[in-house]
Every structure is written in C-alpha cells, then in structure tokens.
Amino acid sequence: MDVMKMPADLPDVNLNSNAELVLKKRYQRKGLDGTPIETAKEMFWRVAASIASMEKNYPSSPFKTKDLARTFYTLMTQYDFLPNSPTLMNAGTELGQLAACFVLPVGDSMDEIFDAVKHAALIHKSGGGTGFSFTRLRPKDSRVGSTGGVASGPISFLKIFNTATEQVKQGGTRRGANMGILRVDHPDILEFIRAKEREGDLNNFNLSVALTEKFMQAVENDEEYPLIAPQSQEVIETLKAREVFELLVRKAWESGDPGIIFIDRINRDNPNPDQGEIESTNPCGEQPLLPYEACNLGSINLARFVLEKDGGIEVDWDRLREVVHLSVRFLDNVIDASEYPLERITETVRKNRKIGLGVMGWADLLYQLGLPYDSRRAIVLAEQMMDFIQKESRSASKKLAMERGPFPSYETSIYKEQNLGPYRHATTTTIAPTGTLSIIAGCSSGVEPLFALCFVRQVMDGEKLTEANSFFVKALHDQGCYSEKLMAEVIEKGSVRNMEFLPEELRSVYVTSMDIDPQWHLKMQAAFQKHTDNAVSKTVNLPNSATQEDIYKIYWMAYEEGCKGVTVYRDGCKSVQVLCTGEGQ
Ligand code: ADP
C-alpha cells in the first residue's frame, strides 16, 4: 500500500522504555526474518497518513489531507489519543483490519457452528477479539434430528472454539481473545457457570452470564424461574433464582469467572433494534454489538489534560474538546480505511458506523488534581468528565453527519424517533481496558486505579522492568520525602496508605486498587457508565479476605447503579482455589 511520504521536518517521537519494547515486538512492521522494517516514528506516520488519506472520499472536508496527517501524527505522538491496537498494527498495510471488537452469531447447526469457528480464526489472525452468545445452541443431550443421536451442548462446543483460538497466533505475537455468553435461562446454565472451575480450562475465553431483569426480580423475590429450550421455547425445568445467583457469586469468589452482564439494559441502549437483539459483547465486555458487527475503539489520555491556573491545577477542558473532535474524525476515517474478513461484517459496520471513544490515564489525572480515587469529588468529576466527552463526541458526530451524511441506518435508529441527531455514528463512546495502549502512552490504564505505585512489570516473553508512577515520584520530591529506602519499601508493599510517617495528603491521594474499598470501584464504574453509549471495562478488585457476601453486594449494586455488567477479582483467589482443591482430595 502506498503511504504518503514522511515529511523531512516531522518531529521525532519520544518513547518510554516499555513502549519501545512493545512497539518493536508487536506493532512495527517486520520483514520476513522478523526484524522491524520501520521505526516507531515511521509506524506513527503510517497510521496518521493512511487514516488522514480517507479525507479524499469527502470533497467537502475542511482539511487538507497532508495537514490532517500531521495533526493526527501529533495527536498520537504527544500521547493525547491512541487508536486501538489493530489500527496501530495494520493501518496502511496489506491486512488493513483495524477494529478490536467483533461479535459473531453461533447458530444451532454444525454448519453454522463451524462457520463461526472459521470466521473467529480469521478475525484473530487480523488482531481482533471475538464475542459469541451460545444461547441458540440446543442443550446437552437433546435430540439431533438428522442422526437420531444426542447434542453435545454449548459447553462442549465452547471447547472447540477455545482450542481453535489456541492454535491461531495473531501475527505470531498474541493469541486471540474471546467472550462466551450464555443467557441465564438456557437449560445448560449450571454447567456453564462451572465451566472454568478448573484453572486453565477455557483459557482463551472470558465467560459471562447474561442476566435478564425477570431473573433479577426472581432473585429479589426469592422465586423460581424457568429454563427455556432455545428452539421450541418450551420450559424444560425451573430453578430457584437465588440458588443460581449464589452459585454465580461463589464461582466469581473462587476464580473471578464467570462475570455477569445485564442483557435487557444493554438492549434498551441498542440504537438499532430493527436489526435484531444484542446478545454478546467483545472479549473484555466494554462493547456490546449486533451479530456480524465490529467496532473500532480509541482512547484519550486524560493525564495530559491539566492546566496550571492561579497556582492550582485544573482540567484543560478547551484542549480536551479539541482532542475529542479530532479523535472522532480519526475514528470515523478508521471505519472507511478498515477491511474486514467477511463481507457481512463490512456491510453491518458501514451501515451503523459505531465508534468507541474512551479514556485512559484517569488515575494519573486524579493524582495531578490531588483527588483521592475513593472520594465523592472524584466520582463527581468522573461524571462531569464523561458527560463532557459524550456531548462533545456527539457534537463532533453531528458535524461529520453534516459534512459526510448520517450513518446509513440512522432513519431506522432510535435517534430518529427521539429526534436526536442526525449523527454520523450509531454510538460514539466506550471505555476500553487499554491494556497495551496505556503502556505505549505511559499512563494508568482505562479508568482503573493504579495497581501499584512502584512495581516490577513483566512485559513480554519474561522480560522485566521496574516502574514507578512519575506523579508519585514528583510528589515525594516536592514534599521532601523521596529516598531510595522508601521506594524499596513501596515496591515491597505496593501501597503507601499505611505509611503513617508520610503526610496525610500523600497517603490519601496516592491510592492503589487494593487500598480502595470495592464499593468505590463500583461507584466509579457507574459514574463513567452514566455517560457512555456502550459499556465500561472495569475490574472490581477485592482483597483476598473478601467474602461471598461482599461479592453478592457488589453484584446488586452494579444492577441498581445502572452498570451494564460487572467483573470482580479477589486477590490471589486462583492459587487459594488450587490449595483448597488439593486439601479436599
Ligand atoms: P489495546 O490496549 O491493545 O488496544 P484493550 O486492552 O483496550 O486493547 O482491549 C480492547 C479490546 O481489544 C478487547 O476488549 C478485545 O476486543 C480486543 N483485544 C484485546 N486483547 C486482545 C487479544 N489478545 N486478542 C484479540 N483481541 C484482543
């Protein structure tokens, strides 16, 4: 593919040492012998130039392609905004697949099941992650018409998807990621809830149970609820809702799996109900999609949006607005530039034009503003921040609709009815985990608190790097508390909350995920969800001592506070579980 020539006066890119490693290993294009054939600078230019070149499709564009390419280059290399990994890897290359998130249907026939396995393999090869609902599959042991035999059920097919994923490495570096969903009223639900009981089973899958509102009401009223055969819609049996809910809680306590999603709430926000129901999300849960739909994501690094004013630090709203508008244009162009492994996906994506703009560096922003993550003021700012980004992204989407036309299915979307829009995109906001993007940008990931202030990071292939949060180090210096001895202690403990010799302000602001009460984790997720079209990727971290009762409460809180799903992780639960099993034998 031809990419616009790199201007001679293009500024160089500054890379932190982790970013240098990650980019070299995974993102910079490689020759046949595996060595990079482009520098990091050339990589960012390849992405900027090929995404900007989409302007040529729109004669009414107010930008000159060359200028916009430079602007996009600056946007990324200042680490104000980064598009999702597949865009960085594949923009301007032969592969050209730029989206991170896909959902594929799994129909109840051998043909359809193995079609889905094949399509997933193609998507994994191109760097995307896939989500599936297995709810349409007939339950285990039900009759198979053509052979007179019995069906093996969703869980046995899940294993086939898992094995296929294991074998397809993405560009030789990372394995694919999957989400597997089963509705709580599927007859095989109990087996599904237990499917990851043994460590290592279904290791390429995150599992989530799709909870209906009817089910949640049955839990609340301590009633039974029906399990329904997907084909005949017959009631097969009834279960006590509370017992199922408690089993879910127990399994999450033991191993963190499965998670839960609130499927009715997700469908209430489905912008295109005429195209069918949403039945699954992408692998990390932040992007609900229709079958055969894909979505590209991008994240703004909030750590970069502060301003010194009157001796204090404030959020730089004006610059943030500018970056939101540019990012929406960038992501809109990504839709046009991207090629998909299936014609059906191309059609669905081009019809709905979903994008998912989100944030990273949230914890770093709070550090700079001196706001503890677990404080009312941080929650208020989270709502204000996402409300702002949501409104500005919609305003940018509206402007693009005027320039380029609304998304083709706008007329049949809920926006038409609500008299909103016309927009260029069926959705504009999603909060991704930003696992790799945050390493590249050198910021805290997504809307998560920091895991530790100073720690040893296992990067890839066993390589290790020591890392200290730069805002923390600066604060220590500013307050005259910095010493090598202290840093060694922080590496050991990961947290300063209980270091009483440090000033109170430092101890309350520089919190880490384990310092934070689980309820604050959840409140933060809910605050961001309030103004996010799609969903929010967040893990509610619990200490090892947390009880099942604690998880029960978190699940209810997630339901009541309007979250679209929830993932919990109890510190060290996996090894404890192994120990327990060992003792039981
Ligand atoms: P990144 O930082 O690499 O852009 P994120 O951690 O934000 O990615 O994840 C966003 C989405 O990208 C995930 O929900 C998933 O859909 C996809 N994804 C992440 N990791 C993988 C992987 N190893 N294989 C396939 N898809 C992935």
Pocket flag, ligand 1, residue 176 (CB < 6 Å): yes
| Alpha carbon distance 32, 248 (integer Å) | 47
Pocket flag, ligand 1, residue 128 (CB < 6 Å): yes
* Stretch among 232-236, 343-347, 370-374, 576-580 having the lowest mean pLDDT: 576-580
| Alpha carbon distance 294, 291 (integer Å) | 9
pLDDT at residue 582, rounded to an integer: 29
90 is catalytic: no
Which tens digits make up the pLDDT trace of 243-268? 999 999 999 999 999 999 999 999 99
- pLDDT at residue 1 above 70? no
Pocket flag, ligand 1, residue 282 (CB < 6 Å): yes
Pocket flag, ligand 1, residue 263 (CB < 6 Å): no
Question: How do beta strands 454-458 and 464-468 pair?
Answer: antiparallel
- pLDDT at residue 335 above 90? yes
Reported confidence tier of residue 581, pLDDT bands at 50, 70, 90? very low
Kindly provide the ipTM of the predicted complex, given to two decimals: 0.95
Output the CA 92–ligand 1 centroid distance in Å: 20
- Which residue of 22, 85, 300 sits with most ligand 1 atoms within 8 Å of its CB, as the best mutation to test the pocket? 85
Residue whose CA lies nearest to ligand 1 atom number 14? 284
pLDDT at residue 258, rounded to an integer: 96
CA geometry: angle at 299 spanning 295 and 301, to 5°? 180
- pLDDT at residue 150 above 90? no
Residue whose CA lies nearest to ligand 1 atom number 18? 129
- Cβ contacts of residue 75 below 8 Å, gap of 6+? 48, 81, 323, 326, 327, 330
pTM: 0.95
| Alpha carbon distance 502, 168 (integer Å) | 50
Q: How many CA atoms lie within 13 A of 23 on its CB side?
A: 25
- pLDDT at residue 546 above 80? yes
Cβ count within 10 A of residue 217: 12
DSSP alpha helices (H): ranges in 315-375?
317-337, 343-352, 362-369
Reported confidence tier of residue 455, pLDDT bands at 50, 70, 90? confident
pLDDT at residue 576, rounded to an integer: 44
| Alpha carbon distance 322, 325 (integer Å) | 5
Output the CA 540–ligand 1 centroid distance in Å: 19
Reported confidence tier of residue 172, pLDDT bands at 50, 70, 90? low
55 is catalytic: no
